[in-house]
Amino acid sequence: MTVPDKPLSCVPFARAHSGIDIRGDAYTWWDQAAGRYPRGPRPAAGAVMVLAGYSGSNRAHVAVVRRIVSRREIRIDHANWLNNGAIFLDDPVADISADNDWSQVLVWNVQTHAWGTHVYNVQGFIGGSGNGDETSPGESPMAPD
**For 93-129, what is each residue's pLDDT tens digit?**
999 999 999 999 999 998 899 999 999 999 999 998 6
Confidence tier at 92 by pLDDT (50, 70, 90): very high
Give alpha helix (H) positions in the chain.
Answer: 10-18, 29-33
Query: What does the pLDDT look like over 44-66, one tens digit per residue?
Result: 999 999 999 777 777 899 999 99
**Is 45 a member of any domain?**
yes
Q: Which domain holds residue 66?
A: 10-126
Q: The pTM is what? A: 0.86
**Is 144 a member of any domain?**
no
**Is 63 a member of any domain?**
yes
CATH of the domain at 56: 3.90.1720.10
pLDDT of residue 129: 67
**Is 138 a member of any domain?**
no
User: Is a pLDDT exceeding 80 seen at residue 3?
Assistant: no
**Is 142 a member of any domain?**
no
Nearest CA-CA partner of 92 in 123, 111, 114, 62: 114
* Helix, strand, coil tally for the chain in percent (to 5): 10, 35, 50
**Is 134 a member of any domain?**
no
**Is 5 a member of any domain?**
no
**Is 143 a member of any domain?**
no
Average pLDDT, rounded, for the chain: 88
